A and B are shown apart, each in its own frame.
Chain A
Amino acid sequence: MEQLTWGILLAAYLFVGGMAGGAFIVGALADILGKDKWKVLSKSGIYVSLPCIIFGLVFLILDLGRFEVAPLSPLNAYINFPASIMSVGTWIITAFTAVSLVTAILYFFEGHAIIRKLFEVVGFVLGGSTAAYTGVLLSFARGRPFWVSPYLPWLFIISGTLTGLAMALFLIPIIAVFMPRFFEDFKNLFDKRTEYVSMLGETDKYLTILGIIEICLIVLFIGTAPGGSFLMTGPLSLWFYAYLILGLIAPLGIGYYIAKLDSARAHENLKTEGISSSMVLSSLGSFVLILIGGFLLRYVVLVAGQIII
């Protein structure tokens, strides 16, 4: 087996980097297109994108082969711009981190809404570019035919948005329960359980759409990539099926179940308390699975590309 140049740390970087971009996209869209009821989701998306991209940068730097011997060397990654796609990506990620930070500050301190929305538009583009970059980086690697696919950037963008949305929704109750003093609106939304539950009902549709698109893209990617069958039968197949079944099909199944519960909830004559709890619990479970799936996708694609010759 060939030596792996990029391993688990880089997979983690691709995962959280994509999720950061996706969460910001969700946050920006919820604020710009959504009404007031989406405000908490918007905040959650934008707040979570910042630590995600910072973690991504930490994973990336730790993975660099010369960081231990030359701690300042990572700064050199800006030099070969725009010839090297990695240099382009470094600039994009830096700009995205800055915009994500400013937008989060504007939200937290209730800054001017118009300025915040302007930052959200810029961050939407940079967040999308960050998620896309993680795929383009692999696609441009001519020595790894498995990665050379026009579907890969889109697969990572869709997976980034799916995991970003899941993470943003997942964090609402977590923040509401553990940090209610700093995030009162999160607490208010979660305390009025029906509002959070109705949000879960609505976002369930978006999660389902994203999940279906991701399945289409993974089929197109595996079907057209040289050595695609390796993922289904080779040593990585266990992780690949875990991604497919636990990270995609199971959340879609849960999504269908949630949609059923949501329509049952809409009939007022039914007792909704039990239904609400079931919706919250199954949604949280589904989010965890989506997040695990997002990481497994990056891991199997990354490793497979380096061992398929």
Chain B
Amino acid sequence: MPKAVLVDLRRCIGCRACQVACKRWNDREATATQLNTDPDLEWTNPRELSPQTYTYMRFVKLGTGESLRWSFVKVQCNHCIDPGCVNACPTTALIKNEDGSVTYRKELCIGCGYCINACPFGVPTFDEENRIIEKCTFCSERLKEGLEPACVQACPTDTLRLMSLEEARAIAVQAEAKGLHTYGLHEVGGTSWIYISEVPLTELGFPEHTAKTPAGYQADLLAKVVGTGVFVGAAIVAGVKLYAQRREAVARAEGGE
């Protein structure tokens, strides 16, 4: 049965326990932190996903002065129900597993980098040293053993909760009915990590996406490409005909003289 993680941002205190647990479980090296130059994100460190960082916390300042408040957002692979990376991968090195996780098989990978460009959330990164793609695995090896992902287990406030995809989607639907914002319920056809928040996730740095799955999205784009082709083709034919007519008229006029 596909699993899901419900991320209820209203409960997050920004302790980064998830970030640390992820590093420990996945044996990721520490990376040098940097002063964040964006004043609204100055506490976000590390600033992005990398081969050594499967997850990180965004510390987003909303409002100013008296109305200033913080929002803490955990970022990792969202494990799409119909993943763009799996769709893009020409070698099936990336696969969607029954437990809901999206994982990587390096023995099949050719290092084309298409998953990096195709992922709607900018998740996969390329490890130059080991020549492999790195990303969050949903701790699929822990799921197999009946354990929670390391980040979920470490979360002290139950911001992160492991459950069935069905249950997570049902809770998210209820949250929407109460006027809360969700992310991953509709976007790109749904993801296995679903966020609930008081502010729209797009205000917290998440990209805006339609509910189209990769196949639907591509069919839509191809239809537009064909439509453009018909339009451009008609314009070319009309242009060439007009040109030929004009040439003929000029030739006739010159002949007449």
- B-contacting residues of A (Cβ < 8 Å)? 3, 5-6, 64-70, 73-74, 76-80, 83-87, 90, 136-137, 139-144, 147-148, 150-151, 153-154, 209, 212-213, 216-217, 305-306
Contact = CB atoms under 8 A, between A and B. Distances in A.
Interface residues of B, number: 44
Contacts of A150: 221, 224-225, 227-228
A239 to B, nearest CB: 20
B202 interface: no
Instruction: Give 10 closest A-B pairs by Cβ, nearest first.
Output: A65-B111, A66-B111, A150-B224, A76-B91, A5-B113, A86-B90, A141-B117, A87-B90, A77-B90, A150-B228
B112 interface: yes
B91 A79 contact: yes
B117 A80 contact: no
B143 interface: no
Interface of B: 84, 87-93, 106, 108-114, 116-122, 125-126, 131-132, 188, 209, 214, 217-218, 221-222, 224-225, 227-229, 232, 235-236, 239-240
B131 A154 contact: no
B88 A65 contact: no
B225 A213 contact: no
Contacts of A213: 232, 236
A85 B232 contact: no
Contacts of A154: 225, 228-229, 232
B110 A73 contact: yes
Interface centre among A65, A79, A305 (most CB of B within 10 A): A65
Contact of B110 (A5, A66, A83): A66
B221 A76 contact: no
A139 B225 contact: yes
A76 B116 CA distance: 18
A172 B90 CA distance: 38
B153 to A, nearest CB: 30
A141 B111 CA distance: 16
B90 A64 contact: no
Contact of B126 (A5, A73, A86, A140): A5
Contacts of A216: 232, 235
Given A139-B225, A154-B225, A6 B88 contact: no
B218 A85 contact: yes
A68 to B, nearest CB: 7
